[in-house]
Amino acid sequence: KNEVEQSPQNLTAQEGEFITINCSYSVGISALHWLQQHPGGGIVSLFMLSSGKKKHGRLIATINIQEKHSSLHITASHPRDSAVYICAVRSGGNEKLTFGTGTRLTIIP
Amino acid sequence: EAGVTQSPTHLIKTRGQQATLRCSPISGHTSVYWYQQALGLGLQFLLWYDEGEERNRGNFPPRFSGRQFPNYSSELNVNALELEDSALYLCASSFVFGNEQFFGPGTRLTVL
């Protein structure tokens, strides 16, 4: 079993839909990252969080430390949101990131 | 502010050769991280350098090595290349321990 599990693996939605991507992890962590990877490979860091909730534009990330679970939400989704979204966790005292396998999101106009 | 830069963008080598990949962190960042993303696999942690020292390495053989220079730029060397080393190699940097990592565009290494 992977330390970091994401669901769904693939998600196709219509433009404007509310999107939720889930991440569960099995180890104690000091922080969780949400990353976005576009075709071609470049990665953008969306959020780093260790508790509660963060919001940036149409993106919202939440984390429940007790349940070892995080969600990434996209409101009013747009075709430009099409990308792979990756969850990564950092364990306490160790800068190494452990990554989920990613969720491929496709938004259809 | 300039982001993390990596060079070259693409690199083609043959089996048994050596590859050198370079990374320049964001100005002021002292930590540099290297990750490998092989086709069909997720991102895997390779190496972490901070203040010129190797602080941690992932589950990779010793032929993967690197260094960090006094200006905090970093080099990843892969010796005795194997076909399965073909991957996207990503570099990231952060201010200090525990801070957000910012990623570069990657170097795509192809081993023939």
Q: How far apart are CA B68 and CA B70, in angstroms?
A: 7
Task: Say if residue A100 is exposed, middle or buried (CB neighbours under 10 Å; 0-12, 13-18, 19+).
Answer: buried
- C-alpha angle with apex B107: A39 to A74, nearest 5 degrees? 30
Residue (of A7, A79, A97) closest to B103 by Cα position: A97
Round to whole Å and give the CA distance between A32 and A62: 10
The answer, yes or no, to whether residue B5 has pLDDT greater than 70, is: yes
Alpha-carbon gap, residue A87 to B76, rounded angstroms: 25
Please provide the average confidence, as pLDDT, over all residues in chain A.
92
What residues of A are in the B interface, CB distance below 8 Å? Answer: 30-31, 33, 35, 41-45, 48, 86, 88, 94-102
DSSP B73-109: -EEEEE-S--GGG-EEEEEEEESSTTSPPEE---EEE
Cβ contacts (< 8 Å) between B55 and chain A: which residues? 95
Q: Closest approach of chain B CAs to the CA of A34, in angstroms? A: 11
Q: Please name the member of B31, B37, B102 whose beta carbon is closest to the beta carbon of A95.
A: B31
State both tokens at A2.
Answer: 């992977």
B58-84: average pLDDT: 96
Per-residue pLDDT of A61-105, as tens digits, reads 999 999 999 999 999 999 999 999 999 998 766 667 889 999 999
pLDDT of residue A92: 62
Alpha helices in A1-109 (DSSP H): none
| Mean pLDDT of the region B37-60 | 90
CA-nearest of B81, B82, B51, B79 to B65 is B79
pLDDT tens-place string over residues A6-60: 999 999 999 999 999 999 999 888 899 999 998 877 899 999 999 999 999 999 9
Residue for token pair 């290297």: B34
Residues of B with CB under 8 A from a CB of A: 31, 33, 35, 37, 42-45, 48, 50, 55-56, 58, 88, 90, 92, 97-98, 100-103, 105-106, 108
